[in-house]
Chains A and B, each alone.
Chain A
């Protein structure tokens, strides 16, 4: 026998005990410890980041943040009420654009297309679009809307910003709609068609409601992502130190504010950046938890 590992003890009982010092057991334990260390390192940044945001953000938390305008460099006090409203406005615009187009596209892919060349191309395109860096989306919208002054002669505007964000949201919404609809079993569809419902009615009243949860989850998550994006907004919605003046003008947003204020050499601005981060992160985490809670309904 060329195996040496079948040891037996003195009275011929097989020796099955765990040999702590055998090489492969040592290696195994070492690797487990290493994996544990790696996991710890992964979790560490999250804790560190959240901790600092909490500490620095809460230290100057006051109602002023919601009601006041940003102070000029070197100035005193102030808040970023305009940025909060601005973020909400821009994100809403983005959602209003992305959701209909995205859900529509997803419905087309899952329900109407034949599964051949064209829809494969669309799916491929969606995947590629998902990989496009956010700044390129901003550049693109800049080229199309801002520099051409296509919107009634305005350049930087909230609408431009919302459009750029919707470009980022689109692939996710299409994908989750597509997959959510694919999960609905075909029996349901055939049953509806069997009682004489048209394709359109089937989709809108039977399949879509059934797939509501995964679609809603995807939408909420993409909104959360859009809310935090900065790059697309820098040269589309720009920034404004004033209260929002309609959607055809530049508008302040939390993310751009953080970007601008982080770079300035004044403590006050830096502090405001932390406070804004705090509020933004709370908002995004809330959306994420909402999506997770929604996701629980999917399994029912």
Chain B
């Protein structure tokens, strides 16, 4: 790009800046450049970004999202390491910077196959959700019947791991669809393998969120102090989780889900129509808003 270009001062500028819900925590060192106010500058998408988003990412690698984030948030140097608590806010901000603050969402009416369209103000959404990294409770302690405690430190997953998991789950689902036809299983072995993979995925996603595990006996003796960064410890962390009582495993999973849900954008309360109620919908409901799907881009003319 030439510096002599007389149009230089009309090049893309930040349209807005946001406070990241993570406040920059959980990013690799030196991979985040915030402005003087400690906010992340957001630029509008270019036509090239728009093309990428509209043509989708058939490999589910998240490559498209990373490229668009790199283009619209130059302050994020390693977009694939964005913690999951920040993804929605960043995408919402890019959407506002590119197409304005009025966004039409297609909401699935709970307990039915119906959908409804809702228009929301993106700026109000950003303002209304006062995210804070302190919302994320990173520790969970489980005490067994013998008084032995298992203390875990949990982290939000980075974006590349979320996409890798989505891809795996999609592939497993495809394999299952292939072997299940007309309610009969054509290949028992493939069926069993994919079911087992789905279980493994759930374990893997939980393991990937664990930063450390500390096991202390009822006599305060530390029998294990495992840290994720240490490759030897990582193997042991996986073994601990795999061998864990299902009740404890579920407790960790629930804790992670609860943390994640604190950072989720929600619709306003919706009142069901008589038709929706007749189809099984509750009278009032609200639902999670997602920015990765078809609602992200306005309709193409």
Q: Indicate whether A and B interact.
A: no
